[in-house]
Amino acid sequence: GENVEQHPSTLSVQEGDSAVIKCTYSDSASNYFPWYKQELGKRPQLIIDIRSNVGEKKDQRIAVTLNKTAKHFSLHITETQPEDSAVYFCAAINSGGSNYKLTFGKGTLLTVNP
Amino acid sequence: DSGVTQTPKHLITATGQRVTLRCSPRSGDLSVYWYQQSLDQGLQFLIQYYNGEERAKGNILERFSAQQFPDLHSELNLSSLELGDSALYFCASSPGPVNNEQFFGPGTRLTVL
């Protein structure tokens, strides 16, 4: 089955610095890669996603890059703010036909220090 | 507020028992997904329903089952409960069957004693 490795498991940065979280996946048929942010005690919320026919996507301070050949994708947060502190999950989804698979990474606890 | 509702918020029960968790999707969403979140297993996809039909299965145990009703709300049934089933259970909904943004509900915290 699909295996998604997420690194690092914890990340601490100073306010204003950039943060990068990386995920690798094993199923080459995966074609959709969302990133979720989960604040303590809250529900996961989609922050950005990318499809396999795109190499990069940006939304204000957040960007995601995808390298299909290497089977890895990364979340980049620039100019971090204390409210960015949360657990971030990546996911890899194979939505082809009857073989739907959805696998999450183990999560990264991001702490932004003021 | 995502528009997805889940009841109950908390559930405490004993081993061997059976419980039912309920989810109402956002208005207009046809897909419902169920997830289990625990400290040791992380976030795990259990099952997806689309417009009343089971569409995809993840790591759902045979003791667990789900269904989606004509009004599109969904129920997750957990039976012969074990201590290890204690977790946060989320449902999420999306408009279509694949690769859409999923909107998560607030979750049901299940504690099995």
Q: Is the peptide bond before B8 cis (omega within 30 degrees of 0)?
A: yes
Q: Do B90 and A44 touch (CB under 8 A)?
A: yes
| pLDDT given at position A98 | 66
Q: Do A43 and B43 touch (CB under 8 A)?
A: no
| pLDDT given at position B97 | 84
Chain A residues 4-33 with CB within 8 Å of chain B: 31-32
pLDDT band at B96 (very low <50, low <70, confident <90, very high): confident
Per-residue pLDDT reduced to its tens digit, A34-59: 999 999 989 999 999 999 888 999 99
Rounded Cα distance between A112 and A83, Å, is 8
Rounded Cα distance between A66 and B55, Å, is 27
DSSP-based three-state secondary structure for A82: helix
**Cβ of residue A106 closer than 8 Å to a chain B Cβ:** yes
Q: Which two tokens stand for residue B35?
A: 């997830």
Chosen from B102, B103, B109 to mutate, greatest number of chain A CBs within 10 A: B102
Averaged pLDDT for residues A95-110? 86
Q: Which two tokens stand for residue B54?
A: 């089971």
Averaged pLDDT for residues B81-110? 93
Per-residue pLDDT reduced to its tens digit, B16-75: 999 999 999 999 999 999 999 998 888 999 999 999 999 999 989 999 999 999 999 999
pLDDT band at A2 (very low <50, low <70, confident <90, very high): confident
**Cβ of residue A50 closer than 8 Å to a chain B Cβ:** no
Averaged pLDDT for residues A71-79? 97
Q: Do A43 and B101 touch (CB under 8 A)?
A: no
Rounded Cα distance between B50 and B96, Å, is 8
H-run or E-run covering B80: none
**Which residue in B99, B32, B39 sits closest to B70, CA to CA?**
B32
Chain B residues 25-84 with CB within 8 Å of chain A: 33, 42-45, 48, 55-56, 58
Rounded percentage of chain A residues whose pLDDT exceeds 70: 96
